[in-house]
Chain A
Amino acid sequence: MADLVKDKPQKHEKKVEKLPTDGTRSKEKAGRAKDPAITAPGVDEQGDDQGTAGMMENTYQLGPSGQFPVSAVSNILKEEITNTLQEEKYEAQRCQDLTLTLCEGIRNRVKELLIPRYKTVVLVHIGQLNGQGMQISSRCLWDPSCDTFTSYSFKNTSVFCSGTVYGVYFE
């Protein structure tokens, strides 16, 4: 309780100080309005994509504030893959580019969800349908209470696609 009271005035402080980045700041605040305890006084961890593992103050938070939104991410995956590949025929160069674009697209949309303290890994396979057999499997060493994944496979007459998003909690 004391934490909340302490954090609130400092949050206001930050808004005033960092004027140039005000746009992003207010967007982030909106996303995390429910959970002021995350914001470390005086230091912002979230806005820094480069992820400098520099000096950070303790937040005394032991676990994720909210679960990784599996259903939202599943929908993103499903939409992106279906919309991109619905009418595609397999062509080597085009599919190579599509794989990369799809990957980046999915990652950017998941980033927009602004899930605090989660790192994401997106994996996409696109292949030609030629009557071959294929097996894709994965194993993870992580904390199953916080970390999770979701995947989606798609097939049309000439192309198949398998996409997976892993969400890993970072303290």
Chain B
Amino acid sequence: MEEYQNGSEGSFSSEEAESIVKEGIDGVLGGDDYSQNHVNKWTATIVERCLTQLVKLGKPYKYIVTCSVMQKTGAGLHTANSCYWDTSLDGSCTVRWENRTMYCVVSVFAVAIA
């Protein structure tokens, strides 16, 4: 798997995960500018929020949530993921978000239990 995609119904819903993640990011980064002092707290809050919301879905999955926040200085960034799992049950979702001073990329991986 090179980019996020999983459309199989009855398993992992990437649309649901996407909306959960977007809410999480907006709630934390909202109107702020990049700040070295706060970024640690921000990333921690974003992943925790996303994780708790995902758990509330009550599905039999283990979750991995990753968040990267990068300051905008004109530098380039590439991210890729590759997964060895059961494609019918497991899935992932990646959300890219930006504002005036920073980029934020959040990835959610859901791995089925049993």
Contacts and interface: CB of A to CB of B under 8 A. Distances in A.
A139 B51 contact: yes
A100 B92 CA distance: 16
A157 to B, nearest CB: 14
Contact of A166 (B55, B64, B88): B64
Interface string B24-63: 0000000000101001101110011011001100000011
Contact of B80 (A50, A102, A127): A102
Interface string A135-169: 11111111100010000000000000000101010
B100 interface: no
* Residues of B in contact with A, size category: 35 or more
Contact of B78 (A50, A51, A125): A125
B72 A132 contact: yes
B70 A132 contact: yes
A107 B1 CA distance: 10
Contacts of A53: 86, 88-89
B68 A119 contact: no
B112 interface: yes
B9 interface: no
Given A125-B68, A139-B51, A140-B65, A170 B112 contact: yes
B107 interface: yes
Interface stretch (A9-17, A33-41, A65-73, A91-99): A91-99
A21 interface: no
9 contacts: A92-B76, A95-B76, A103-B2, A132-B70, A136-B43, A138-B64, A139-B51, A166-B64, A166-B109
Interface of A: 49-53, 90, 92, 95-96, 98-100, 102-104, 106-107, 110-111, 119-143, 147, 164, 166, 168, 170-171
Interface of B: 2, 34, 36, 39-40, 42-44, 47-48, 50-51, 54-55, 62-90, 92, 107, 109, 111-114
Given A121-B92, A134-B69, 7 more contacts: A121-B82, A130-B73, A135-B43, A137-B44, A139-B50, A142-B111, A168-B62
